[in-house]
Every structure is written in structure tokens, then in C-alpha cells.
Amino acid sequence: MKAWLWDGSAGVDHLQLGDAPNPAAKQGEVVLEVDYAALNPADLYLAERRYPYPVNPPLPHVLGRDGVGTIVQVGEGVIGVRVGDRRTILRSQAGVFRWGSFAQRVSIPAESLVEIPPGWTDEEASCATLVYMAAYRALTMWEPLKPNSVVLVTGASGGVGVAAVQLAAAMGHTVVALSRDEDKQRRLKELGAAFAFNPHDSHWIKDVKDALNSRGVDLAVDNIGGKLFPEVIATMGELGRISLVGELAGPVPNFDTGTLFSRRLRIGAMALGYYTPEETRTIWHELLSVMAKSGARPQVDRVFPFEELPDAFERLRSGPMGKVLLRVKA
Ligand SMILES: NC(=O)c1ccc[n+]([C@@H]2O[C@H](COP(=O)([O-])OP(=O)(O)OC[C@H]3O[C@@H](n4cnc5c(N)ncnc54)[C@H](OP(=O)(O)O)[C@@H]3O)[C@@H](O)[C@H]2O)c1
């Protein structure tokens, strides 16, 4: 098969499209012939050797955590799926500790696959699981929000951000979305945000307060960190909660914990990797029922041919509107 092989050196220029042995389905696994794979910042972090914790897969390694395709081989002990069935990858160690979906075939534990949601296209199904589950847990990891709470989403145009905007809106909350791009702010309002602001505007915090009639934010979903984080804190209301999902802008400089006391704010990290396959499946089915209420669908930014993975990474780095995909099968 063809696969994008990474030699373990830092940088996406160390990925080479080459020939690799076909994977075989071991006990409890299936082999998926990949139609579409989706990119995530985690793939970039790994390729650039700046993953949030040490990850040293055997080399060469194949990246790619998300994907959709057809089952072409079923290992011993697998029940409930057959050769020819179409499935999407829910969440597994593929792309991190074992070979992932930037290849024509990938072996996956059968328990880490789910059916394609009815009516979804293959493209939509290939890119949704990781980011919608991250967004859903970020919204639900605390005690339940009161009806019509205010939810602020940073990096709202990205995979997790779009999912958080759609899910929070479908749950009936007032969504404030942050994006540095005016066109993307407009799209985010179409997707359910009540308000959208540019976090690089010096007056964005005042704009949020004005828009909310001085009401504070109840829950922030933060994908960015960095210098923006203390500004997010400034928008929070009494007993506000901040769910940390990512840190695209890096560490928070000079953070003052004193800003948390008077409003008794809480900060918590969400990490999908710590959920069991059963919990993961439950999260997925819960969020699908929320999406069904509003008819929300995954947003595909752009699909790149398999041979153009480096360009797809450039698009991801530049700040997409939704998800960046690879069409693996010609
Ligand atoms: N904890 C977990 O289990 C988990 C699971 C999934 C993802 N994540 C993490 O969550 C984060 C978001 O993932 P994603 O898939 O949504 O990323 P993404 O698709 O790359 O989008 C992030 C968005 O954030 C904005 N952005 C990027 N860099 C920025 C910067 N330096 N300063 C301000 N804004 C910036 C961009 O929007 P604008 O250009 O519109 O401003 C971009 O579209 C990543 O760090 C990812 O690794 C964590």
C-alpha cells in the first residue's frame, strides 16, 4: 500500500509518500481501506515533536487519527462487522502509538469503529469524531449548565471550535464565538453563534460585555491559551467554568491566579485520551442526538488529494473554517 511515512525527525518535510506493507488484522481488529482521512493539530504536534506529552511510536510512523472507509479484513474474535461494511474511526491509538489513517489501509481495534451517521456524507463522517467528542466533553464535563447559559468559544472556526458552537447552540445556550477573521465570524453566526468577535481587537472584552448587557460568561471552551487566556478570564461571570481543550497559542504568560477568586472561577482540562472505548461510544451517541435536534453537520473546509498532504498541513496551520481532509482513495 501507499502511506505517508514519517522518519521521526521534527517537521512535516520529514513525511514521505512511499510503499509500506499492508497491515493485517490481529485479534479483535479489522483492516479499513481508507477513503478519506482528516487532519488534526495533534498530527502536526507529533510531526513537529511538540506533542503535549512524550510519544515515541516505532519508526517509520504513519500519522492520521480520523478516517472513514470500508472493512477489507476482519481479525479473530471480532463480532458485529463484516468485510464490505463502511465505518468511521471513533477514537483509537491509531496515528499516535500505532500506524494511522494517512495510508491506503489501517488496522484498527473493532471497538474503535462506529457506523456512519445516517444521511452524512463520507467526507463529513471522516472528520467529526475527535473534534465533536472534544467539544461535547468540554461542554458537559462540569455540572450541567443552566438553560440559556452563555458559552464562549475561542478558536471557534477550527474543528473543535465549530463543533462547540454548533453543540452549545443546539443545547439552547447563547454562544459567543471568537475568530480573527471577519468572514469566519459571519459563518459562525450562520452556524449558531449569537455573537462573534475578533480576539485581536483591543475592545473585544468590552464588546462582549455590551452584547451580553454586562452578563458574564458561564462556560468558556478554550482552544487557544497564550496571551488570550487572561482576557477570556476577564469575560467570565460568577462561578464561571473554563474547559481547556487546546493551547494553540502556547503557554499563558504572567498568569495571575488572583483573577479567579472574587468570581470563584474554575479551570479544568479535558483530555479525550483518558476515556474508555465504552465511554467514548456513549459520548458519541449523546452528541449525535444533540446534533440531530438542530440538524448540525460537520463543516469541511477543504479536501486535498492524498499526494498533497504537505499542502493540507499548510492549510491546517493557516486557520481553516472547519476541517481539512485528505482524499485517500482516488
Ligand atoms: N484535549 C483534547 O483531548 C483535544 C482533542 C481535540 C483537539 N485538541 C486541541 O484543541 C485545539 C483546537 O483544535 P482544532 O482541531 O479545533 O484546531 P484547528 O482546526 O487548527 O483550529 C483552531 C482555530 O484557532 C485559531 N487559531 C489558531 N492558532 C491561533 C493562535 N495562535 N492564536 C489565536 N487563534 C488561533 C484559528 O482560528 P481563526 O484564524 O479563525 O482565529 C483556527 O482556525 C488544538 O490545540 C488541538 O490539539 C485537544
Q: How many angstroms separate the CA atoms of 137 and 189, rounded?
A: 22
Specify the pLDDT at position 77: 97
Q: Quick one: pLDDT at residue 38? A: 98
What does the mean pLDDT of the chain come to?
Answer: 97
Going by pLDDT thresholds of 50, 70 and 90, the confidence category of residue 295 is very high
Q: Does ligand 1 lie within 6 Å of residue 157's CB atom?
A: yes
Q: Which atom of ligand 1 is nearest to the CA of 270?
A: 1
Give the pLDDT mean for 275-295: 96
Domain that holds residue 70: 2-128+298-327
Per-residue confidence band for 52, with pLDDT thresholds at 50, 70 and 90: confident
218: pLDDT confidence band, cut at 50, 70 and 90?
very high
Q: Is 292 helix (H, G, I), strand (E, B) or coil?
A: helix
Whether residue 179 has its Cβ less than 6 Å from ligand 1? yes
Whole-angstrom CA distances from 180 to 11, 54, 233, 320 are: 26, 31, 18, 11
Q: Domain ends where: 272, 288, 315?
A: 272
* Percent residues over pLDDT 90 in the chain: 96
Same domain, 169 and 122: no
pLDDT single digits (tens) 164-177: 999 999 999 999 99
Q: Is the CB of 249 under 6 A from ligand 1?
A: yes
pLDDT at 51: 86
Q: How far is the CA of 4 from the centre of ligand 1 (A)?
A: 23
Residue nearest to atom 8 of ligand 1 (CA): 246
Q: Which CATH number goes with the domain that contains 322?
A: 3.90.180.10
Cβ(155) – ligand 1 distance below 6 Å = yes
How many CA atoms within 13 Å lie on the side-chain side of 169? 25
Cα 18–Cα 20–Cα 25 angle in degrees, nearest 5 = 150
Are 266 and 135 in the same domain?
Answer: yes
Whole-model pTM?
Answer: 0.97
One domain, residues 223 and 268? yes
Mark whether 135 and 99 lie in a shared domain.
no
Q: Does residue 104 fall inside a structural domain?
A: yes
Domain check: are 86 and 218 in the same one?
no
Using the 3D structure, point to which of 272, 290, 314 is the last residue of a domain. 272
Q: Is the CB of 41 under 6 A from ligand 1?
A: yes
User: What pLDDT score does 185 carry?
Assistant: 98
User: Does residue 54 carry a pLDDT above 90?
Assistant: no
* pLDDT tens column, 244-265: 999 999 999 989 999 999 999 9
Range 67-79 average pLDDT: 97
Is the preceding omega at residue 57 within 30 degrees of 0, hence cis?
no
- CA-atom Rg of the chain in angstroms: 20
Q: What is the pLDDT of residue 112?
A: 95
What is the H or E stretch that residue 122 is in? helix 122-127
